[in-house]
Amino acid sequence: MKGISTFGRKDSAVWHPDAATLARSRLRRAMAEWGHDGLEDFHRATVRDPARFWAAAAKDLGITFTAPWRQVCDDSRGKAFPRWFTGGRLNASWHCVDRHAANPALADKPALIFEGDGGESRSLTYRDLLAQVVRVARGLRDLGIRRGDRVGVFAPVSPEAMATLLAVARLGAIAVPAFSGYGHEPLAARLNACGAKLLVTVDATSRRGKTVPMKDIADLALDLAPTVESLVVIRHSGHPVRLLQGRDHDWGEIGTGSDAPVPVAEMESNDPLLIIFTSGTTGQPKGIVHSHLGYLLKPGIDFGYAFDVQDDDRIAWIADLGWMLGPLMLYGILQFGATAICMEGLPDHPEPNRFWRVVERHRATILGIAPTAARGLKTITPAEGPGEDLSSLRGFISTGEAWDIPTWHWLFEVIGQKRLPILNYTGGTETGGGILSGYTIAPIAPGSFAGPLPGQDADVLAPDGTRAEGIGELSVHNGWPGMTHGFWDDEDRYFRTYWTQVPDTWVHGDLCSVDADGHWHIHGRSDDTIKVSGRRIGPAEIESALVGHPQIAEAAVIGVPDPDRGQRIVAFVTLKPGVAPLDEKGVAQSVAHAVGKAMAPSAILAVKLLPKTKNGKIMRRAIRARYLGEPAGDLSALDAQTPLDLIPTLTRL
């Protein structure tokens, strides 16, 4: 073991697991069975003897092979290209649907609950979901889809879209979910990059009540995507659409012409299940390849052990199929027979208290929430907290970006009433899940992670590959099931991206540190790093200090060139309702007090909105490019309601 196997101690923690939480824990039972009495001892064993751990975990989590595997890990091509459970046969769709539909205790419980942008709701039981998956798989088979074919899914998260992903997997084809906010050109680019044979879309979706005509976007994309032979349309919103004869098909009608069985395809453990494309600031999108075994076992570890998801859970989360979180919800929740509450749209529409009403209405046990969403909800939620009944909740899961500490305390103290853990979780599309996380059985300190997830030899490294003092690069010295098998048709690019900065080590691209009490912290993306007079700092610390000021609602900071100090810090902020004008001097003094005078912004600029992706992440690199008058790169994920031109340019000041 090369990395850090440290877990946060209870001294500085503000939440500690109670007896009921410990007694419930699947992980605690497994650790006792395997002879471990603490997380550090357990984690070290998972890294030192990976073959034993991954085999035991797969068995404990109920992953069933229809043909036995020969070797847990074959890394004969190097750490970057391992193959897991070689020779084993299984199918991820069967694990999430068929076995639960055959279980009398689970067959008639909700598998998927949908909450639409306009407040509408519908659900599918496991029995119903299996019927839909089989019908859609039959329909796709009738349209010529076979094992290994790529099927694009351009749709908001919904029971129909989730059933489609599972139907594609059932056939042994490869699902290619695309972000529902894309225009036709980025959608076409992804369909072309993977050679998709068929696309599934919806008539339309809505965002804050505004219709988004996704079928029209898909039509334009197919004019640029010659490999796509068929288009299947889900009647999602009732928006009128025209079906092109011979090419277009109604999702609700495919597969209805017969009741012919659709056997579950037996897939080798490493056969592709998903290609999830991510956007970069330059170059072509990266097609992240995930396998049937990897996208069961890694989400199973994270959801089953860190979050303790069991079949009595109902997890509500705003996600999108085109980002990692959408498929992660599907495979991380349904494999345990739990219920996924899929939320279309935004947390404050069609009513400001939407999040809390969803929890109350569906008795959610876990609520997924991003720091950005929490900051927005903080400004519109009564000071005493929501009036809805949140007693069903047993915790929050947080991912997407670093926390600012004032908002973390608000969620923990006001919403959670100091009884609910905030399970901070970080990883990426390429990792198939998390690297660091909170655990239901570990103490939690504000804004922190308890430690590495099982099987991850995590570390914090300086640029030369040595252990960093203070903030460094989050890195992993080993491989794990769930890590991408590479970029689709571009292994060299994958290897250069993650494995060349430090030999035989995955360098993730996040800034990280471990504090004196053993709690882990993420400080933002490495390419957002600011270096002032030789000292590196992530944006999170400065932004946290900014939003701690009573005038500031949200903040984004960037580093801009400075001839004397290398860089200086410029902050862009939005003001709380009714606050004007900005007290720039007072805010600067407050930040200087929190992070030191050298790291105080040289300019603090009030803007109407901060540019964000459609899933709520602040686009700092785009803000910097706009401010400096440089090319902004790929803006396909930019939310049109937060346009980049709201950011002033340096030449205008």
Is residue 294 one of the residues assigned to a domain?
Answer: yes
The reply to whether 581 and 610 lie within a common domain is yes
C-alpha span between 256 and 314 (Å, rounded): 31
CATH number of the domain where residue 216 is located? 3.40.50.980
The reply to whether 27 and 86 lie within a common domain is yes
Helix (H, G, I), strand (E, B) or coil at 286: strand
CATH number of the domain where residue 602 is located? 3.30.300.30
- Residue 283 — very low, low, confident or very high, per pLDDT cuts 50/70/90? low
DSSP 573: E
The reply to whether 349 and 391 lie within a common domain is yes
State how many domains the chain has.
3
Bridge pairing between strands 230-234 and 198-202: parallel
- Residue 536 — very low, low, confident or very high, per pLDDT cuts 50/70/90? low
Domain that holds residue 305: 19-91+272-524
Name the residue with higher pLDDT: 529 or 294: 294
Is the predicted pLDDT of residue 280 greater than 70, yes or no?
Answer: no
Residues 6+ apart with CB under 8 A from 59: none
Q: Which of 491, 524, 557 is the last residue of a domain?
A: 524
Is residue 479 one of the residues assigned to a domain?
Answer: yes
Is the predicted pLDDT of residue 653 greater than 60, yes or no?
Answer: no
The reply to whether 291 and 259 lie within a common domain is no
Is residue 248 one of the residues assigned to a domain?
Answer: yes
Q: Which of 489, 524, 559 is the last residue of a domain?
A: 524
Is the predicted pLDDT of residue 285 greater than 90, yes or no?
Answer: no
Please tell me the predicted confidence (pLDDT) of residue 294: 98
The reply to whether 489 and 340 lie within a common domain is yes
Over 350-409, what HEC string results?
Answer: CCCCHHHHHHHHHCCCEEECCHHHHHHHHHHCCCCCCCCCCCCCCEEEECCCCCCHHHHH
Name the residue with higher pLDDT: 308 or 576: 308
How many CB atoms within 10 Å of residue 411?
Answer: 22
pLDDT per position as a tens digit, 136-180 = 999 999 999 999 999 999 999 999 999 999 999 999 999 999 999
The reply to whether 281 and 335 lie within a common domain is yes
The reply to whether 560 and 519 lie within a common domain is no
What is the pTM for the complete model shown? 0.89
Q: Which ranges of 104-258 does DSSP label H, i.e. alpha helix?
A: 126-142, 159-171, 184-194, 214-222
Is residue 179 one of the residues assigned to a domain?
Answer: yes
The reply to whether 405 and 515 lie within a common domain is yes
The reply to whether 128 and 78 lie within a common domain is no
CB 146 within 8 Å of CB 173 = yes
Q: Which of 210, 243, 265 is the last residue of a domain?
A: 265
pLDDT per position as a tens digit, 399-420 = 988 888 999 999 999 999 999 9
CATH number of the domain where residue 476 is located? 3.40.50.12780
C-alpha span between 319 and 324 (Å, rounded): 9
Segment 584-608 mean pLDDT? 87
Is residue 443 one of the residues assigned to a domain?
Answer: yes
Bridge pairing between strands 339-343 and 110-115: parallel
The reply to whether 507 and 565 lie within a common domain is no
C-alpha span between 197 and 194 (Å, rounded): 9
- For residue 632, count CB atoms less than 10 angstroms from its CB and return exposed for 0-12, middle for 13-18, buried for 19 or more: middle
Is residue 7 one of the residues assigned to a domain?
Answer: no
The reply to whether 253 and 276 lie within a common domain is no
Is residue 10 one of the residues assigned to a domain?
Answer: no
Is residue 417 one of the residues assigned to a domain?
Answer: yes
Percent of the chain with pLDDT over 70: 98
pLDDT per position as a tens digit, 221-275 = 999 999 999 999 999 999 999 999 999 999 999 999 999 999 999 999 999 999 9
pLDDT per position as a tens digit, 299-350 = 999 999 999 999 999 999 999 999 899 999 999 999 999 999 999 988 998 9
pLDDT per position as a tens digit, 71-92 = 999 999 999 999 999 999 999 9
C-alpha span between 485 and 269 (Å, rounded): 12
The reply to whether 378 and 437 lie within a common domain is yes
C-alpha span between 53 and 65 (Å, rounded): 17
C-alpha span between 443 and 10 (Å, rounded): 5
